[in-house]
Amino acid sequence: MPTEEEKEAFWLQQIRVKSVLLNLENTLREIVKRLHASNKIDGPSESTKSNKEKYSLLPRSGQDNLNVTVTLQDENVIQTDVNLKYAKSAVGYYRATANPDIQWKLTQIQDASNQCVRALEILLKGMKKYETAMASENASRANVETLILTILNSVKENVKQARSSLTLPKRKSLVELCQFQPIKSFNPPLPHDILLSYYIASAKLVCAAYQVVPKSNGVQTVTIYQAECRLPQIVEVVHYLNTAFSIAHDFLANYCMLKKPSINAA
């Protein structure tokens, strides 16, 4: 016979699960809309068309060596202008523009988009399975509970990964930057001792300029200059990701707390 705690947990499941799943669905749809990925769920529509956005990246506090503008369309860099103080230049700076004719993606935004789409797909399929299970007279409580926990844990993990993609920096190595084709599209070309990297960190777009100076002993020294700006749309996405994570986490925590006494009793 089920214990009182188990009965209460199942009652909580029946009362709250549908509300939690719908809340999660609405939150995830807001995220994929802001990442211009709704077409991957609902098919193409006018609302999924994206606009070009131009951003001015300013030097970090205490630096005045680097100023950058970047034009983005979704996760794609379609133009960037760089103004870098450069003592080796006759005019004291390096100024260039890149209009890449090959795809230049900010992969962290692309990764977050794919992870959020995956989370929403898992949720929508899970909701159908849950409704079918609850409508069936033969569905066991244990199977329904397992289904709910599987859905929410999977959604929670994908949301966590998406949030990490937009908050934790994912920088290319200097070797990777040397081989990265888009930064070879600058006009005039980058000086031989300068490399540029564009990435996302803490919902900001960051441009880092690396000046590599070889020493006589074979060791290289690297001086780094950075410019950055907040991406309002990504800030919103991170806010919704935090909300989605909390919805799943709080339900799972409350549910597992109700289950815990019966586990200890066993």
pLDDT of amino acid 7: 66
pLDDT of amino acid 259: 59
Domain locations along the chain: 13-41+108-165+235-265, 56-107+167-231
Higher pLDDT among residues 122 and 214, named by residue: 122
Q: What is the pLDDT of residues 6-64, one digit of tens each?
A: 667 666 667 788 899 999 999 999 999 999 999 888 877 655 567 899 999 999 877 78
pLDDT of amino acid 214: 81
Q: Which two tokens stand for residue 13?
A: 């499941």
pLDDT confidence band for 266 (50 / 70 / 90): very low
Rounded to an integer, the average pLDDT of 188-202 is: 96
Architecture of domain 13-41+108-165+235-265: Up-down Bundle (1.20)
For residue 187, the tally of other CB atoms under 10 A from its CB is: 8
- Which range is least confidently modeled, 2-16, 68-82, 215-229? 2-16
pLDDT confidence band for 263 (50 / 70 / 90): very low
Q: In this model, does residue 128 exceed pLDDT 60?
A: yes
* Site of tokens 């103004």: 83
- Which range is least confidently modeled, 64-68, 183-187, 255-259? 255-259
Cross-sheet strand order for the sheet of 52-59? 186-187, 93-98, 76-85, 66-73, 52-59, 220-230, 204-214, 194-201
Judge contact between 139 and 82, C-beta under 8 A.
no
Q: What is the mean pLDDT of the chain?
A: 89
Rounded to an integer, the average pLDDT of 55-82 is: 93
